[in-house]
Amino acid sequence: MSITTAMLPADGRDNSRLVDITPDRVFKRTEKGFRFSLIFKRRLWEASFKRCAYCGDEIKGHGASHVDHVLPRSEGGSESIDNLACACAFCNSSKGAGSLADLRFKVALYKSPVGGIVTPSQALALIEAGTILPIDYVRPFYFECVAREGGGYVR
């Protein structure tokens, strides 16, 4: 699997919020190993305009934000800030180790009138059987909207 978008979450956020976050400040050592530090999570959330980089939903508090590896670690993705994105619980768990193209379909389905009624695998089966579902297949990610609008995202 590979990244299938010309833009990445880092292109659609206010990276000035992250300039002083050196690699040693991204992680915090705990008894169970390393975790993303709260200062990093807070700054990434602020840099992402307190929204999920993918679906654009508002995330109420940095404590509720998730840090997603854009290119999954299982695919060789790094821990560099450019490979990390602020995500909501839905998008982070939906993406898992999948690609952005797979996530785009899942978010588009979730945001469609049949979201929450038809699962992604059911939707794919229905589509393959010729059913036309009311899904916006080219629905842009939030970070793509921000990047296209020069950082000044307007709803």
Binding site for Zn ion (CB under 5 A): 52, 54-55, 88, 91
Please, which residue, 83 or 94, has the CB nearer to Zn ion? Answer: 94
CB of 104 to Zn ion, least distance (A): 12
Please, which residue, 40 or 143, has the CB nearer to Zn ion? Answer: 143
Please, which residue, 91 or 123, has the CB nearer to Zn ion? Answer: 91
CB of 33 to Zn ion, least distance (A): 26
CB of 4 to Zn ion, least distance (A): 18
Please, which residue, 7 or 126, has the CB nearer to Zn ion? Answer: 7
CB of 54 to Zn ion, least distance (A): 5
What are the structure tokens assigned to 139, written together? 């629905």
H, E, C per residue of the chain: CCCCCCCCHHHHCCHHHHCCCCHHHHEEEECCEEEECHHHHHHHHHHCCCECCCCCCECCCHHHCEEEECCCHHHCCCCCHHHEEEECHHHHHHHCCCCHHHHHHHHHHHCCCCCCCCCHHHHHHHHHCCCCCCCCCCCCCHHHHHHHCCCCCCC
CB of 29 to Zn ion, least distance (A): 29
| Contact yes or no for 22/57 (Cβ under 8 A) | no
Determine phi and psi for 89, rounding to 5 degrees: -60, -40
Please, which residue, 70 or 88, has the CB nearer to Zn ion? Answer: 88
